[in-house]
A and B are shown apart, each in its own frame.
Chain A
């Protein structure tokens, strides 16, 4: 891999701004890497080289004329394939959607374009964003750059694999149960689920559950995640769940460290589900935060014991937008367990959904009570490292796909910002992630703590073997 491809956005941007590196050169190299690596990783569903190069040339001309739009100007990016890009297919990795083309951009895409980013393609994913492996896709299973026999996680698995393998410098994913953080953890990169309402969901297709879905960045390191959030965040009247927020530079406070921050370590649910190896690495990461001045204390969120029963509301929501495809039978889905799930939705009554929503509120209230005592929560992103693709392929009872988002999903119920940052490797050389979550609208605190940990422990982006 060349030094250029290996760079992060914050390393590349000054070179582009000073015109030491051309956006065309960077984009051409990204496209070449996609051509070489993607037949093995399947991180992309759509790649549009000519359009990407046109955008790169436009960026180059603009910068040459003295108009530099900021750190994303001329930088190659990917978009998960459940987010609309004008004129390109938005397939959800489903054979049922191969000819579905929108005549508009999602708001996040429009924001990236306005910042001068070069969108090179649409990233592969777990079919319909309804699973945590990205093995079932009408366009082929996505492979993990750290071990090609393993899943990259999901559902934003193509985004994570492509960023990890340095085919692109960042991507935008969606996270309804952990679909940004889980693949980020499995692929050794950073994934941020921002506060609910901070990043517009307009153009996410289909618009999934109203109050647990989020869009956010997948990036090589924490600084890049903050740079991307700077561009993605902001009120959007086209999204009824978007919430007005003050314009914030999420990079500004990164260097302030964690001294004085109170970090809560949940004693329920998270660590008891994780393997000993994951527990040990995440425990060491928390020790690092303590050594940097954070005050670490135990906290309790007892209602998480009932987390699996809160799933009823998700089951019912999924049913509503895929119901037209159910009569076609399980063969219409790459992931046949999705069809099962849709059928099961027919057996969830309104009373069950309402009870599940009450349970969600109970869990949410307990999280909110805990965050009155602490500034952050620290826990594992995943219970295990990435597992074999072969096992995921036989996962009709959804055991593995459920395990992969087991620890991330509670934060979707609550809407708090949560980030996954790499915190070491398993004995097999697979990345493990530390998850940090903060109070609503305190995304900058989450980023700051993740950055402090990253700088103290790992130093940032690590190159996987395939790259």
Chain B
């Protein structure tokens, strides 16, 4: 689904609470689209499966000491 200026404007009102002008929305739209695309790339990465027993979300460097 393509991100329209009107959708982005509505999302920013919802997220940030400010109604930004059409020029700012037009400038932001490709940046937001690129960000979403990069997140798709990130999600597509195979980092060894999603089995919770092999996940290591938390980095605690104290264990390295």
Complexed CA–CA distance, A329 and B28 (Å)? 12
| Cβ–Cβ contact B16 & A327, under 8 A | yes
Q: Is B24 an interface residue (CB 8 A)?
A: yes
Do A441 and B35 touch (CB < 8 A)? no
B65 contacts the other chain (Cβ, under 8 Å)? yes
- Closest beta carbon of chain B to A140's beta carbon, Å: 26
Q: Do the beta carbons of A358 and B16 come within 8 Å of each other? A: no
B59:A359 contact, CB within 8 angstroms = no
Does B56 sit within 8 A of A, measured CB to CB? yes
Partner of A440, one of B38, B48, B59, B64: B64
A364 within 8 A of partner (CB): yes
Q: Which residue of A lies closest to B28 (CB)?
A: A343
Contact between chains at B15 and A346 (CB < 8 Å): yes
Contact of A359 among B16, B38, B39, B42 (CB under 8 A): B42
B62 at the interface (CB under 8 A from A): yes
CB proximity of A462 to chain B, nearest CB, Å: 35
Shortest CB distance B5–A (Å): 14
CB < 8 Å neighbour of B38 from A309, A327, A361: A309
Asked if A211 and B41 sit within 8 Å, CB to CB, the answer is no
Q: Are A326 and B31 in contact (CB under 8 A)?
A: no
Q: Cα distance A355–B62 when bound, in Å? A: 22
Whether A347 contacts B65 in the complex (CB less than 8 A), given A309-B38, A355-B47, A357-B57, comes out as no
Report if A415 contacts B (CB, 8 A).
Answer: yes
State the interface size on chain A (CB cutoff 8 A): 37
A370 CB within 8 Å of chain B: no
The answer, yes or no, to whether A19 is at the interface (CB within 8 Å) is no
Question: When chains A and B are docked, how far (Å) is the Cα of A243 from the Cα of B60?
Answer: 11
Q: Are B59 and A347 in contact (CB under 8 A)?
A: no
* B 20-62 binary contact with A (CB < 8 Å = 1; else 0): 1000100010011001101101110101100000011101011
A358-B35 contact, Cβ under 8 Å, with A309-B45, A329-B24, A441-B65: no
Give the shortest distance, in Å, between B49 (CB) and chain A (any CB): 10
B16 partner residues in chain A, CB cutoff 8 A: 326-327, 343, 346
Q: Which of A329, A348, A355, A364 has the most CB of B within 10 A?
A: A355
**A347 touching B39, Cβ below 8 Å:** yes
Q: Which of A211, A352, A355 contacts B59 (CB 8 A)?
A: A211
Known: A329-B24, A355-B45. A312 touches B12 (CB 8 A): no
Complex Cα distance A344/B38, Å?
11
Write out the residue numbers on chain B whose beta carbons fall within 8 Å of the beta carbon of A312.
38-39, 42
With an 8 A cutoff between CB atoms, is A349 at the interface?
Answer: yes
- Tell me whether A347 and B47 are in contact in the complex, defined as CB-CB below 8 angstroms, given that A309-B41, A329-B20, A358-B57 are known contacts: no
Q: Chain A 212-231, CB within 8 Å of chain B: the 1/0 string?
A: 00000000000000000000
Give complex CA distance A330, B24 in Å.
Answer: 9
Asked if A327 and B18 make an inter-chain contact with CB atoms under 8 angstroms apart, the answer reads yes
Contact B43 A327 (CB under 8 A): no
Provide the residues of chain B in CB contact with A352, threshold 8 Å: 39, 42-43
Contact of A364 with B59 in the complex, beta carbons under 8 Å: yes
Answer whether residue A356 sits at the interface, using C-beta atoms and an 8 A cutoff: yes
A346 to chain B: which residues have CB within 8 Å? 11-12, 15-16
A440–B16 CA distance with the chains assembled, in angstroms? 40
Which of A311, A340, A415 is the one whose CB lies under 8 Å from B31?
Answer: A340
What CA separation (Å) do A340 and B18 show in the bound complex?
14
7 nearest A-B residue pairs (beta carbon):
A327-B18, A346-B15, A309-B42, A352-B39, A344-B35, A358-B47, A347-B35
Q: A residues touching B (Cβ–Cβ < 8 Å)?
A: 196-197, 211, 243, 306, 308-309, 311-312, 315, 326-327, 329-330, 340, 343-344, 346-349, 351-352, 354-362, 364, 397, 415, 440-441
29 residue pairs A–B, Cβ–Cβ below 8 Å:
A243-B62, A243-B65, A309-B38, A309-B41, A309-B42, A312-B39, A326-B16, A327-B16, A327-B17, A329-B20, A340-B28, A343-B31, A346-B15, A347-B39, A348-B35, A351-B43, A352-B39, A352-B43, A354-B57, A357-B57, A358-B47, A358-B55, A361-B56, A361-B59, A362-B47, A415-B61, A440-B64, A440-B65, A441-B64
Task: List the interface of chain B (C-beta within 8 A of A).
Answer: 11-12, 15-18, 20, 24, 28, 31-32, 35-36, 38-39, 41-43, 45, 47-48, 55-57, 59, 61-62, 64-65
